[in-house]
């Protein structure tokens, strides 16, 4: 179970990354990306960044590749904006929760 401190760190990292992705990145591979969640390890050395990407599976993969190639830039921005002992190494993961929810809603609507 995450402590209150870890939840605050996760939320602060999510806010900074979300702002950086939308305003600072100029990579044409990166489409419409939303940072949905961040889970940092207890030692703050690693962070899994969950992102939702609008588009086809090919566009989603391209956006993930663009984000992964920009991880150093994003990590440096994170270090500048948040005062942490360690700046976590970022790993981007596609969050398909919204797609799964739509599928479940369609299945439920078909049964009615």
> pTM of this prediction?
0.85
State residue 2's pLDDT score: 64
Lowest mean pLDDT among 9-23, 47-61, 96-110: 96-110
Q: Which of 90, 96, 75, 84 is nearest to 6 (CA)?
A: 84
User: Crossing angle, helix 71-81 and helix 57-69, to 10 degrees?
Assistant: 60
The model's pLDDT over 27-39, given as tens digits with 9 standing for 90+, comes to 899 989 999 999 9
SS3 35: strand
pLDDT band at 103 (very low <50, low <70, confident <90, very high): confident
* 40: CB partners within 8 A, 6+ apart: 6, 9, 10, 13, 46, 47, 48, 88
β-partners of residue 35 are: 51
The model's pLDDT over 80-93, given as tens digits with 9 standing for 90+, comes to 999 888 899 999 99
Output the CATH code of domain 4-111.
Answer: 3.30.300.20
User: Crossing angle, helix 4-23 and helix 71-81, to 10 degrees?
Assistant: 120
Residue 99 has pLDDT above 90, yes or no: no
Residue ranges covered by each domain of the chain: 4-111
């Amino acid at each position: 179970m995450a402590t209150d401190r870890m939840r605050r760190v996760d939320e602060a990292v999510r806010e900074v990354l979300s702002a950086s992705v939308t305003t600072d990145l100029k990579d044409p591979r990166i489409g419409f990306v939303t940072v949905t969640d961040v889970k940092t390890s207890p030692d703050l050395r690693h962070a899994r960044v969950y992102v939702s990407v609008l588009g086809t599976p090919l566009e989603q993969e391209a956006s993930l590749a663009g984000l992964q190639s920009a991880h150093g830039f994003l990590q440096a921005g994170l270090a500048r904006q948040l005062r942490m002992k360690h700046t976590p190494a970022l790993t981007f993961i596609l969050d398909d929760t919204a797609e799964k929810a739509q599928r479940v809603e369609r299945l439920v609507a078909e049964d009615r």
